[in-house]
Amino acid sequence: MNVNRRVQTLDEFTIQQLRDFPQATGELSHLLRNIGLAGKRVHVEVNKAGLVDILGDAGTINVQGEEVKKLDVYANDQFTRVLQHGIACAGIASEELDDFVPFDDAKSVKSKYVCLFDPLDGSSNIDVNVSIGTIFSIYRRVTPIGTVVTKEDFLQPGNQQVAAGYIVYGSSTMLVYATRRGVNGFTLDPSIGEWTLSHPDIKCPEQGKIYSVNHGNFFQYDKAVQDYIATCQKKDKETGGPYTQRYIGSMVSDVHRNLIKGGIFMYPGTTDKPKGKLRLLYECNPFAFIVTVAGGKATNGKIRILDVEPTELHQRSPFFVGSKLMMEELETYLN
């Protein structure tokens, strides 16, 4: 029998990385494995979304006052439960839950990490068969091991992230995660249910040709943002402009594409919503971390997203993220 052993699984990869750190306990690998497990369960449901009665509204409104879809609820439950039953997570915070959830059982209080997530990103795209995703952010707790986690464990600036990642449920399902050592992408082989390393050591091209923004809000953006968008539309030999506009409305898919191909994604503040729409802790910070490790940049328009000191679990932030040179060009307008 000819067994293909060129394939490296997520577990093999994370354990191999650990070998360089003799003091490591393996908890982070375990946590990533559990995120992968919850992701596989969501993948299964996403793929039959058109077949079963899982479409449509759950009939409830979340803390943000938004409609909750059944798949949002399902994904939130999966990630929460899988992490609660694992041995590496001391508590979670989620877009779908008003407050953080400390895991106060004897096993969990001894765990090192907390995890914040957006269980289903781009949920307005569920009903129309367009790619959606999950976003996660992992911190080492700041309170002592053996105690129940508190809010300060969750309100850490993004520069303290130990790891961050996302899952995109697209034409294939992919899990991409970053640690300070690099960004790696794993494609789910649905025939065997394994995450397999398909995109090792992802680097974001310094210059791309794509800009992603909601043009419908154009007249609500600051002049600086409007001027930058106009620049994206101009012919420019040096930058390769005019850029191509691409906006899916699932940030996971939009930023994933721009990370691989090079590009810039923007969700600026508007006159109606000066802080924009995206949530700092489980939408902006994880992507800021991933793209920065891959060589790109992320800002809220004033400072690096990763250096923002959070004050609330669900706080929003303007968000600009992408290829280094494109971000530097944008910054000349914002400053």
Q: Which is nearer to ligand AHG, 88 or 164 (CB)?
A: 164
Q: From the list ligand AHG, Mn ion, none, which binds 249 (C-beta under 5 to 8 Å, kind-based)? A: ligand AHG
| Range 289-318 burial, b when 16+ CB lie within 10 A, else e | bbbbbbebbbbbbeeebbebebeebbebbb
Position 251 contacts ligand AHG (CB under 6 A): yes
Quick check: 185 and 199 in contact, CB under 8 A?
A: yes
The strand pair at 210-212 and 194-199 is best described as unpaired
Q: From the list Mn ion, ligand AHG, none, which binds 277 (C-beta under 5 to 8 Å, kind-based)? A: ligand AHG
Q: Which is nearer to ligand AHG, 159 or 214 (CB)?
A: 214
Position 96 contacts ligand AHG (CB under 6 A): no
- State in angstroms the smallest separation of the CB of 305 from ligand AHG: 15
- State in angstroms the smallest separation of the CB of 2 from Mn ion: 43
Position 121 contacts ligand AHG (CB under 6 A): yes
The one segment of 39-47, 118-126, 179-187, 326-334 that binds ligand AHG by CB under 6 A: 118-126
> Given the rule CB under 5 A, which residues bind Mn ion?
95, 118, 120-121
CA distance 261 to 246: 12
Nearest C-alpha neighbor of 320 from the set 236, 239, 190, 232: 232
Identify any residues that bridge with 94 across adjacent strands, giving them in sequence order: 117
List the structure tokens of 162: 């130990």
- State in angstroms the smallest separation of the CB of 119 from Mn ion: 6
CA distance 55 to 70: 6
- SS3 assignment, position 81: helix
Q: Which is nearer to ligand AHG, 247 or 333 (CB)?
A: 247
- SS3 assignment, position 142: coil
Q: What are the helix (H) ranges across the chain?
A: 10-18, 27-47, 70-85, 151-154, 223-232, 251-261, 285-293, 324-334
Q: Which is nearer to ligand AHG, 10 or 176 (CB)?
A: 176
Position 118 contacts ligand AHG (CB under 6 A): yes
Position 214 contacts ligand AHG (CB under 6 A): yes
Q: Which residue among 94, 134, 156, 250 contacts ligand AHG (CB under 6 A)?
A: 250
The one segment of 3-11, 152-160, 246-254, 322-330 that binds ligand AHG by CB under 6 A: 246-254
The residue count for the chain:
335
Task: Please measure the distance between the N-terminal and C-terminal CA atoms of the chain and give it in whole angstroms.
Answer: 62
Q: From the list ligand AHG, Mn ion, none, which binds 214 (C-beta under 5 to 8 Å, kind-based)? A: ligand AHG
Q: Which of residues 263-282 bind ligand AHG (CB under 6 A)?
A: 277
- State in angstroms the smallest separation of the CB of 133 from ligand AHG: 8
4: how many CB neighbours lie within 10 A of its CB? 5
143: how many CB neighbours lie within 10 A of its CB? 17
Q: Which is nearer to ligand AHG, 239 or 315 (CB)?
A: 315
Place of tokens 């600009």: 320
CA distance 120 to 282: 11
Q: Write the CB contacts of 33 (distance below 8 Å, at least 6 apart in sequence).
A: 10, 11, 14
The one segment of 29-37, 116-124, 137-145, 168-176 that binds ligand AHG by CB under 6 A: 116-124
Q: Which is nearer to ligand AHG, 194 or 283 (CB)?
A: 283
Q: Which residue among 76, 78, 94, 123 contacts ligand AHG (CB under 6 A)?
A: 123
Q: Which is nearer to Mn ion, 29 or 62 (CB)?
A: 62
Q: From the list ligand AHG, Mn ion, none, which binds 27 (C-beta under 5 to 8 Å, kind-based)? A: none
Q: List residues near ligand AHG by CB under 6 A.
A: 95, 118, 121-123, 214, 249-251, 277
